[in-house]
């Protein structure tokens, strides 16, 4: 099953570590919100996912989930693994890429499954 590197982790020390790492790495940088989001997404490893909300928290604005989604929707850089960003409820959300002759969320599901992410009924199955 997929490793949910979420701030929703039941392990408080893990939540604090993830937040502090993100703040230390990105908050001090004199770069735009968009650049911070793209740097966080670039660092998501194969087989792992983050939610739009988690990324917004890491950048310092929990209310910016939609802005994160808009950045993902407009991204054209194939080096940024946008497909590893999902909705907070585990739904895969949208995707602007085409892979293996599949478009949109079908393409995103294809990519996530190819990385070992388990998906059932259009939602990521998380470890408990």
Known catalytic residue: 38?
no
> SS3 letters for the chain?
CEEECCCCCCCHHHHHHHHHHHHHHHHCCCCCHHHHHHHHHHCCCCCEEEEHHHHHHHHCCCCCHHHHHHHHHHCCCCCCCHHHEECCCCECCCCCCEECCEEHHHHHHHHHHHCCCCEECCEECECC
Q: Which of 22, 82, 86, 92 is catalytic?
A: 82
Active site positions, annotated: 82
């Amino acid at each position: 099953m997929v490793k949910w590197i979420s701030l929703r982790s039941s392990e408080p020390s893990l939540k604090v570590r993830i937040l502090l790492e993100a703040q230390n790495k990105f908050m001090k940088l004199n770069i735009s919100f968009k650049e911070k989001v793209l740097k966080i997404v670039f660092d998501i490893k194969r087989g792992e996912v983050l939610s739009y909300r988690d990324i917004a928290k890491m950048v310092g604005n929990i209310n910016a989930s939609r802005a994160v989604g808009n950045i993902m929707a407009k991204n054209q850089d194939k080096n940024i693994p946008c497909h590893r960003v999902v909705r907070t409820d585990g739904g895969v959300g949208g995707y602007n890429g085409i892979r293996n002759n599949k478009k949109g969320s079908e393409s995103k599901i294809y990519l996530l499954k190819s990385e070992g992410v388990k998906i059932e009924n259009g939602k990521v199955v998380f470890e408990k």
